[in-house]
Amino acid sequence: MHARVARLATIGADRRPHIVPVCFAFADGQVCTAVDRKPKTTSALRRFANVRAGGTASLLVDHYDEDWSQLWWVRVDCAARVVDHGADLERVIDALREKYRGQYGHSPPSGPAIVLYPEHWVGWSAAERSD
């Protein structure tokens, strides 16, 4: 998927939704995302706590265009886990560096990361189908 940004949705212990924009990449049939090195107000980000506690997440990728015949979106509901180190984290970082060469080429995320295991895909497109 060529989209550059998605929205990651998790559910907190308080049962309230939490949604944030993320960069993402595919690796071995899984979707992965990590936190870049831009300054954050805290390193204890809610998305990681939510995934650790609940083990699920949804990712929404969409495309907006002034020509509404070009609109589309895809949502994938997933099992999810946080990876902090090791080969899984390296695989995630490599996939993100490949996709976002300009942004992560010299300053890749250092972890942790979230790995999403797709369970259900749903989507919509305004474009006409050619059946």
Residue 111: the pLDDT is 75
Residue 129: the pLDDT is 58
DSSP string spanning 72-117? EEEEEEEEEEEE-SHHHHHHHHHHHHHHTHHHHSSS---S-EEEEE
Residue 103: the pLDDT is 87
Residue 82: the pLDDT is 97
Residue 80: the pLDDT is 98
Residue numbers in the chain where pLDDT is lower than 50: none
| Spatial contact of 93 and 82, defined as CB atoms under 8 Å apart | no
Residue 43: the pLDDT is 62
**Predicted model pTM:** 0.89
In the chain, count H helices and then E strands.
Answer: 3, 7
Name all domains of the chain by residue range, CATH numbers in brackets: 6-125 (2.30.110.10)
